[in-house]
Amino acid sequence: MLFEELQPDLQQWLRSVVNQGYKTEAIVDSLRKAGYESSVSSAVQEDITALRDAREKVAVPSRNPSPWDSGVKTTSDREVQVLMTAQKPNLVLFGNLLSGEECDELIALSQPRLKRSKVVNSQSGQSGQHAMRTSSGAVFRFGEFPLVKRIEQRISELVDIPVSRGEGLQVLNYAPGAEYKPHHDYFDPQYPGSKKYLQRGGQRCATLIIYLNDVEAGGSTVFPSTGVNVYPRKGYGLFFSYADEQGGLDPLSLHGGSPVIAGEKWVATKWMRLRDYVDEKTGA
């Protein structure tokens, strides 16, 4: 059975457990216990081997000395705290990235345009709703509102990536039970569906998640390959990078949004590219 023939959520799960180092026998046993037919469980053994081989061949992005050593990063309009750094995966947790008022205003701006979030089909390149991602989202054009423009500039100064390389700021709302199962934000060049996205600014190289509210329970950002687990706190931001100019991609950037148990979760997400981003709708 070809890996591409599996359901997307099963593909993601297989990537996750392979990256975590689980043995083939344990993975197959878990599939059988989960109710998969023996023929499926046995057939995916070749897929598991292929994933493990691919993981070993991946060129992990080079690690430069951390620019976050001072503990505080000053932009033109704000002092942002550097609360935590890690290199596997390469991530930084910021405090005081947005004020409480900015968080509230961004939520208010997004509410009238919320729609069910979509995921990209790695084979066709088409996007659509899927059970692995059950949030609602709203996307803003570059500088669409003064607040959006200010946040985009602040992000650019903070992570030293030009505004022109960022995709439109996206606000996501997770109701109780909503989640985003583990996934990579980069476009895997092995799959044909990635081609059209890579043409619009090259590979995604980094992600910034900004937490817009405190969540009563659940809703953490989890990196299952490394055990990193970040709980939402209003105004905080989680930045992680995973691609470089040489084509290196970091599989340890596998991450997900755990289910919201109580209350709701609001985040703003900014994806960044290696080159200037071209919006599919506006062409700019």
For the purposes of burial, counting CB atoms within 10 Å of the CB of 185, is it exposed (0-12), middle (13-18) or buried (19 or more)?
Answer: middle
pTM as predicted: 0.74
In 3D, which of 55, 52, 27 has the Cα closest to residue 42? Answer: 27
Instruction: Note the pLDDT of residue 196.
Output: 82
- Is the distance from CB of 109 to CB of 147 less than 8 angstroms? yes
Instruction: Note the pLDDT of residue 61.
Output: 45
Write phi, then psi, for 178 (nearest 5 degrees). -75, 150
- Is the distance from CB of 217 to CB of 261 less than 8 angstroms? yes
Q: Class of 72-273 per CATH?
A: mainly beta
Q: What whole-number distance in Å separates Cα of residue 205 and Cα of residue 198?
A: 11
Domain boundaries, the chain: 3-57, 72-273
Instruction: Note the pLDDT of residue 194.
Output: 81
Q: Is the pLDDT of residue 65 over 60?
A: no
Q: Is the pLDDT of residue 201 over 70?
A: yes
Q: What whole-number distance in Å separates Cα of residue 172 and Cα of residue 101?
A: 17
- Cα 115 versus chain centre, distance: 19
Q: What whole-number distance in Å separates Cα of residue 237 and Cα of residue 263?
A: 20
Instruction: Note the pLDDT of residue 58.
Output: 42
Instruction: Note the pLDDT of residue 28.
Output: 73
In 3D, which of 57, 52, 54 has the Cα closest to residue 24? Answer: 52
Instruction: Note the pLDDT of residue 2.
Output: 47
